[in-house]
Amino acid sequence: MTLLLAVTAACRFTGDACLMLLFGGCGLGAVAGPAAARAVCAPCLRCAGRAAALIAFLALLALLPLQAAAVGNGWSSLGDASLTWIVFWKTGFGQAWGLRAVVLALLAVLVCVRFRLGPVAFLAGLGLALTALTGHAAMHEGWLGIFHHGLQALHVLCAGAWVGALPAVPGLLRQLGTAGERDVAVHSLRRFSRLGHVAVAGVLITGAANTLLVVGAWPVRWSVTYQMLLGIKIMLAMCMVLLAVVNRYVWVPRLAQDPEMAIAAIRRGTWVEIAVAVLVLGLVAVLGLLQPV
């Protein structure tokens, strides 16, 4: 991997991860109710949310000159204003970048002026969905292209709802041991579990369909870098699903019998799931820059 490709992938990873945190975390607080929202969106999380929105916007800003460098002569084209303008004005990437820049600028202003869970989650989700305008979904035209773009948007939204809400779970688990906050934590965790089932199913179904549309078959040709990384990504995603299933159907039922052990096990499983999710997002950032065949 060249340095330019690595830096571009790092910007993609950073921006997408920040938007997922905002979409999943704020979305969980918004749908779980006012009391749960206060629990999920504590002051420290509000500060982290403001930082995430600003970082996502800055990471997006960096992608335009990096794309100009990629289509030009490498690092020597990084500061070429005329080439950057051409990429912005006359390419599909530039037009999609412009739409995302408007959305993320609004998001950055919103989190700094008034941090409201619903609007923040909406704008973060819109910023995620717009990533489908670029990448491999652009390989098709007509109705198939529209379908593929929509499928990719649904895939990233389901992934964002699942992965982005995970960091809130350890905090909710801590509240289970506090008498005044236990009911709120239980309600939030139940809502997360119900919505998590839908999000995980959506990730698996849309991911399988996207794979067939991009590769044309299952990624079994590991001599091709794209298919090798995609295969690793699929295996890691299945590990995440397994961890989620164990947490929900093995440890949650044991909360009544041995809450201390069950909470500790769920917390460990959640942190491992988050770590695996970071690896998956890193692979996704690289895969979007590679040719599938």
Give the span between the Cα atoms of 248 and 253, in whole angstroms.
8
Q: Which of 192, 46, 15 lies closest to 120 in space, CA to CA?
A: 46
- Residue 290 is inside which H or E element, if any? none
In angstroms, rounded to a whole number, what is the distance separating the alpha carbons of residues 246 and 266? 9
Please compute the mean of the pLDDT values over residues 177-195 and round it to a whole number.
75
Determine the pLDDT at residue 182.
Answer: 72
Q: How confident is the model at residue 13 (pLDDT cuts 50, 70, 90)?
A: very high
Separation of alpha carbons 218 and 133, rounded Å: 23
Neighbouring C-alpha atoms within 13 Å toward the C-beta of 21: 24
Residues in the chain, how many? 293
Helix (H/G/I), strand (E/B), else coil: 56: helix
Q: Give the span between the Cα atoms of 82 and 88, in whole angstroms.
A: 10
Q: Which amino acid is at 125?
A: G
What amino acid is encoded at 102 in this protein?
Answer: V
Region of poorest pLDDT, from 32-36, 174-178, 218-222, 283-287: 32-36
- pLDDT for res 128: 96
For residue 175 the two structure tokens come to: 């509240």
Residue 222's CB is within 10 A of a number of other CB atoms, namely 12
pLDDT level of residue 199 (50, 70, 90 thresholds) = very high
Closest of 131, 130, 110 to residue 121, by C-alpha: 110
**Closest among 287, 286, 292, 293 to 6, alpha carbons compared:** 286
Query: Which residue type occupies 64?
Result: L
- The one-letter amino acid at 89: W
Taking the C-alpha atoms of residue 140 and residue 118, their distance in angstroms, rounded to an integer, is 33
> Which residue from 222, 243, 239 is spatially nearest to 231, judged by alpha carbons?
222
| pLDDT of 265 over the 90 cut | yes
Query: What is d(CA 173, CA 45) in angstroms, rounded to the nearest whole number?
Result: 16
Helices (H), the chain: 3-31, 34-40, 43-71, 81-90, 92-113, 117-129, 142-165, 168-175, 182-215, 225-246, 259-287
Cβ 156 vs Cβ 131: under 8 Å: yes
Q: Phi/psi of residue 44, each to 5°? A: -65, -35
Check: CB of residue 248 under 8 Å from CB of residue 214: no
Amino acid code (one letter) for 43? P
Q: Do 63 and 131 contact (CB within 8 A), yes or no?
A: no
With bands split at pLDDT 50, 70 and 90, how would you rate the model's confidence at 154? very high
Lowest mean pLDDT among 218-227, 230-239, 240-249: 218-227
Q: What percent of the chain has pLDDT over 70?
A: 93
* Helical (H) or strand (E) element with 23: helix 3-31
